[in-house]
Chains A and B, each alone.
Chain A
Amino acid sequence: MASKAIFSTLRRSLTKPNRAVSRRHHLSTSSAATASEPYAGDEHAIVMKGVRISGRPLYLDMQSTTPLDPRVFDAMNASSIYDYGNPHSRTHLYGWEAENAVEVARIQVAKLIGASPKEIVFLSGATEANNTVVKGVMHFYKDKKRHVITTQTEHKCVLDSCRHLQQEGFEVTYLPVRTDGLVDLEMLREAIRPDTGLVSVMAVNNEIGVVQPMEEIGRICKEHKVPFHTDAAQAIGKIPVDVEKWNVSFMSMSGHKIYGPKGIGAMYVRRRPRVRLEPLMNGGGQERGLRSGTLATQQVVGFGVACELAMKEMEYDEKWIKRLQERLLNGVREKLDGVVVNGSLESRYAGNLNLSFAYVEGESLLMGLKEVAVSSGSACTSASLEPSYVLRALGVDEDMAHTSIRFGIGRFTTEEEIDKAVELTVKQVEKLREMSPLYEMVKEGIDIKNIQWSQH
């Protein structure tokens, strides 16, 4: 009896700590199993706006803006330090040096587009250039010309300026586009009237990346003697731009889309034949009276160097970006079906790939793709979840427009980044489709559009 008691207490004292230890082990292994931290070193994860990402995301949003090229940064630094004079001061060395720097940049920008340096006006960006041209030309010719033609897929600043003109009493025709995003030339020809003052068509669309048939449009405008304006912010440095071949009278350019600084842009205003425009910024008459105000010398210098680099590297970058675009598209198409490219695949700038994934909910796709910095079709146009007007003009269904993602490939993108983006996108889309009952029905062969949904 006593021995039994002794043995039982001995057993209890021996097993208790062991049991306690094993419970702790059990807890730690189970928590280790549920923890889904794939990366080591997660203590440096970034937590912002309620989202936790393990590192800086892959940058695939080159259409919204581009990182600054180190060579541009170098030129801008030197200029910020030494060219601090006002370029419009005629009386002393500091002004002369700054003016020289600005003139060098002007020549560099003009060479990129095939223009003369005297036809380039520097301003704060493509938005200001678009506003100046659209409003300035119509205000100058307001007695004789009351009509403007533009397309439905233009940038918001052009559409908003046209709406402002409509409120002032001008008439605007918004040309529809075909399903591949290109403008119908016959419709353009029919829309031109004797009192048309401006035709504005953007060269490369920022959302879908299609390249419009600029030479044909230029020829039509020359026949009817209508000034032709193009928003080439996404086009310069990426596709060959020539103002003589395209027969443009006005062109808007932006610095931060070609690896240059933000806050600078340029406007090309043709001198032969002369087109007149009313300035938006009045003042001391700088920049041929079209844009008064002191120029930010280092921004201008940065823009010039960026243009020169773009001209030198255009062929090399185009080859690289085309290769990456094919890799991305093939990689996604191999593993997923129901992938639609928005916009024409032939007449397109390679660095812009706008894909729609069928049977996937758009917002959840974007929330899952937090490690890839991309833009979507709806979010970049408004704060509400209204699908983008560009996709709507293409005739894309609402559900496909919501799941559109725009991949922007640029000079600095690497092959490994593309592979990783493909992997993450495919994983996310597959995960969402697995959960989706609509996709199950489609796989069984049911046509979604012809379902009679019963009321509960």
Chain B
Amino acid sequence: MLRYFCKTVSAHWRTNPVLYGLTVLGVALGVASVISIRILNQSAVASFAAGVRTIGGAADVVVTGKAGTLPDAFYPLVRGTPGVAAAWPVFESTVTVEGRPGTFARLLGVDLLAPSPELWEALSAFAPGAAAVGGRGWAAATPELARTMGWVPGDRFKVRDGAGVRELRLGALIDFERWGASGGGRALVMDIAGAQSLFGGAGTLHRIGVTAAEGADVPALAARIEERLGGRVDAVTPSERTGQARQLLGAFRLNLTALSLVSLVVGTFLVFSSMRACLVRQRREFGVLRSLGSTPAQVLALILGEAALLGVLGVVIGILAGYWTAVWNLDAVSSTLTNVYMLREIESLEVSGGTLALAVLAGLGGALSGTLLPALDVWRRDTRTLLDTLPARSAGTAVTRTLFRLGLLLVAGAVGWYWFIGWRWRLTGFVLSTAVLLCLPLVTPWLVQRLTGRVRVPDFGFRYGVRSLGATLANTSFSVSSLAMAVCLLVGITLLVESFRETLVRWVNRSLTADVFVTATVGARPGPNATLSPRLVERLAGGPDVEDVAPLRRLVLRVEGRRLAVVGVDLGRPAARRRLALLSSGDAVGRAVRDRGVLIGEPLSRGASVTVGDTVEIEGPAGPVRLPVSGVYRDYTQGGSVTMDLGLMAETLGSGSLTSIALVLRPGADPEAVAAGIESRYPRDSLRVRSNRRLKEDIFNVFDQTFAVTRILQVMSLIIAACAITLTLLVVAQEKASEIALYRTLGAFRRQVFLLFVSKGTAMAFLGLTLGFAGGIGLGAILIFVIQKSYFGWSIEWTWPWLPLAGEALAIVCAAVLASLYPAFRASRTPANELCHADA
């Protein structure tokens, strides 16, 4: 049997290399799509987690202040908490390097005088004859930063932060890996005292890293630290911080997750149908083997053996191809991370064992399950029918109707469940979407049967092709339903993205009315420490073209247990009222002023279940404050926000400088010119000045980048469309070779057979599109009205993006026609005497 196995495999390869190659390609493509998306997804999270760890070192608990900073005085309290083995204070800032705009570095101040063997281990290339380690102006740089800047130890260089320019001296290089703080990127390390005095933060820390004593309960220790400091700090474990990272990346990851879902569907489909395609061809061969006395078990072993061989080959190629696809798309994903979420770039691709296992599972699982149907067919059927040339395979309408009803029942059940119980649950939307997606393959066979059965056949053309689809129901349903699933996801996500964008356009037009926006930054990025000095505000307000200014103060605080932006504005100004798209009725802004209340964004309202009449707890720098909620407004920022009057903010959360102001210009003034004027007068690194138009552009750039990954989705559904149709038609051309030969004998030209196959491909595309659109509209509704609301708390208005949808449909039909060309060519070359050979 083994000899026979080797012989058949090589014979198949020689006689039909295209189909065999396609099979391996199909498996590889499926595995590659699964693997590439997963690698990108995991790398994004890993990059975030690495960023978190860099700051904490190898800490068990990281202590941060509720208002962004901590006073020095907390340090002994933390260190003295029972269960703490060691604690180290960290001062952190972001600086730009002078003479090289756009190069910024993370500046860490740590206690260089504390005994830390790892730290000394990590330092190298000390500058000769330099000032004492940790002396004033001494800094160690990561090799990456030194290389970028071309520094050698001993060099002097200048850095700038919000407060001004400082001179430092490169004393050594530092290897973060050895230090036990993963990652690093571009960073500078100084002694904490020097950093504090140079960068204007005497007596302030940004975090305290803590290692727990051996055997200590880490979460309990974190709770103890918070308690000891009277709730003025957050003590979290690194895994909690990674969890926060995941949350922040929510929308982005939801996209990637949707993509992995699609890729898994595509992958398994491709593998499945590739294997089917390969096996169908050998049906008669199995019949012969059976008739010669092979047991069904032997034939089954033969089939599974060949499937496994192809599967393994495909998996190996697929893993390599998937890795390269990930590398290829890395830039796009990475720039989204840095630009939108202000995170570090992805520095290394994570290929975990889980990813590889998933790839192997999808590849081999798909291959073997794709083998199962034909194998069972061979198992079940008697030898004679296997040898039949024109097998009458009429799938009973009873079976397909049952499947159809099952599909409808599934959706009805899911909707009913949602209506009565499910809506309370956060993941409910995913259950609904899965129901919609699974419904499609269930309803397809019956619909194909009904629709193609009704077609009248006046000639041997398009309609004959459509009609004959019903004769290869299993194959047809298969490609139609996988196409429908892909289209469904595509349409659903297009509906979501375009509706979201349209909603955002309306919201932005309404809330951004000032002409020029000025925001304080540190190292070109807004941050908790970046503020506008009162003198600057005064000067900006007194500009020649400025009619009015709207001040804004932004703090990142914990509200109802969530970290989000608390924004102070002058609620007395009419512009401030207009800015907020209120969802609650009545004069909410007036109420807020009167009752000393706050207005909250929709995501917070939904997420924490608070609304008008309730109160929210804001954990201010001086302890928690409870304030009444006067209104709820539309809010499309991640996690949401809270808006309150500036006066109330100063009273309850402490006074402080503004973080940005909006300028309303005199009629006729040119916002671009004013913005450019301000920009040229002040250093670029400490202010971000944008005209109304520029700010809107930036907002939509962020939006488009967040959803840029959906373009992969579009490409993928095209690939599915093309692959599904090519493979199905190739199988049909093989399976129905006798039928084609019959047509040729009865006088059909090659061109007629060619057109017949192109018709079949086009008809399958149309069926898939119709079903997919129906499902996609349902999925879109779920995404917009269920998932976005429960996940992000965003209200999105439904819009019909006709143009993008039409474009996608057209692209799929074109792909289908193109994909049917090769099988159609193959079919048209079927020799007319094929039928008679089968006779002999």
Interaction A to B: no
- Which residues of chain A have a CB within 8 Å of any CB of chain B? none
